[in-house]
C-alpha cells in the first residue's frame, strides 16, 4: 500500500508529548514511558513526541497512563497531544486492531488521583454539521461533571486525570460515530500540579 491508500480499519492514533517542568525531565519522561505497558498498541517515540496507534481503548489507556505516571511524581507536568481517527491513508499498524479490549494500564492509573485542568478542542472533519457534533459532545462532559467553561477555540475540563481522560475518550469516540468512516481530530492540553491558581 502506498502512503495515500485507505486503511481497512478505524484505527485511532495520538501524537503527544509530556513536559515535566523540572531539571530531571529526562528521567521523568523516560520513567513514565517505561512504566506503561504498550504491548497492545503501535508505538514510536522520538526526540519530539510519542505516537500511539491502535484500538481507541488502548490508545487512551496508554496516553493517560504516560501522563499519570509522569504527574504522580508531583512535578508540574503538561501533556499536549492530537488524537485522530478515520484519517485517510492510516493503515500501517492495522494488525493491532485485532487485540482484545482489556486495558493493560487501567489498574495502575486508577491507583493515582492526580488533579488536572484541560483545554480541548474537537474537530469533526469534512462535516457541515460540525458545530452540532461539538455541542452534543460538550454535553457529555457536562453530564460527567468535568466541563467547567468554554474558552476561545477550546473547552475547559477540570477533575482528576482519570475523569478527564474518560470524558475526552467518550466525546472523541462518540463524535467519530456520527457518520460512516468519520474523520475526527481532537487536541488536548492537560496540566497537573501547576503552581498557578486556577482561573476558572
Ligand X SMILES: Cc1ncc(C[n+]2csc(CCO)c2C)c(N)n1
d(CA 106, CA 109): 5
Sole binder of ligand X in the list 9, 10, 15, 17 (CB under 6 A): 17
Q: Is 18 in the site for ligand X (CB under 6 A)?
A: yes
151 annotated ligand-binding residue: no
The C-alpha cell at 31 is: 520513567
CA distance 131 to 162: 27
29 makes contact with ligand X (CB under 6 A): yes
Least Å distance, CB 138 to ligand X, is 27
Is 50 labeled as ligand-binding? yes
- Please check whether residue 7 is in contact with residue 56, taking contact to mean a CB–CB distance below 8 angstroms: no
First to last CA, the chain: 48
- By CB under 6 A, residue 10 contacts ligand X: no
- Pick between residue 26 and residue 151 the one whose CB is nearest to ligand X: 26
For residue 124, give the nearest of 174, 52, 60, 61 by alpha carbon: 174
Q: Work out which of 26, 131, 135, 151 binds ligand X, going by CB under 6 A.
A: 26
Residue closest to 116 by CA, chosen among 77, 83, 144, 155? 77
In the complex, the smallest distance separating the C-beta of residue 148 from ligand X, rounded to whole angstroms, is 26
The most distant pair of C-alpha atoms in the chain lies apart, rounded to whole Å, by 50
Residues 36-65, one symbol each (x = binds ligand X by CB under 6 A, - = not), give ---------x-xxxx---------------
Residues that bind ligand X (CB under 6 A): 16-19, 26, 29-30, 45, 47-50, 66
Amino acid at each position: 500500500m502506498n502512503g495515500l491508500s485507505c486503511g481497512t480499519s478505524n484505527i485511532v492514533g495520538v501524537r503527544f508529548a509530556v513536559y515535566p517542568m523540572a531539571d530531571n525531565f529526562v528521567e521523568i519522561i523516560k520513567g513514565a514511558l517505561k512504566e506503561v505497558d504498550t504491548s497492545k498498541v503501535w508505538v514510536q517515540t522520538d526526540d519530539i513526541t510519542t505516537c500511539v496507534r491502535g484500538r481507541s481503548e488502548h490508545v487512551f489507556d496508554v496516553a493517560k497512563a504516560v501522563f499519570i505516571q509522569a504527574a504522580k511524581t508531583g512535578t508540574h507536568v503538561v501533556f499536549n497531544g492530537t488524537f485522530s481517527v478515520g484519517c485517510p491513508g492510516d493503515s500501517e499498524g492495522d494488525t493491532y486492531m485485532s487485540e482484545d479490549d482489556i486495558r493493560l494500564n487501567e489498574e495502575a492509573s486508577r491507583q493515582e488521583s492526580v488533579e488536572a485542568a484541560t483545554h480541548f478542542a474537537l474537530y469533526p472533519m469534512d462535516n457541515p454539521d460540525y458545530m452540532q457534533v461539538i455541542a452534543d459532545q460538550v454535553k457529555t462532559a457536562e453530564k460527567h461533571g468535568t466541563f467547567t467553561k468554554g474558552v476561545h477555540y477550546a473547552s475547559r475540563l477540570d477533575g482528576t486525570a482519570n475523569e478527564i481522560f474518560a470524558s475526552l475518550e467518550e466525546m472523541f469516540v462518540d463524535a467519530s460515530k456520527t457518520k460512516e468512516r468519520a474523520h475526527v481530530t481532537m487536541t488536548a492540553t492537560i496540566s497537573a500540579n501547576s503552581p498557578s491558581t486556577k482561573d476558572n
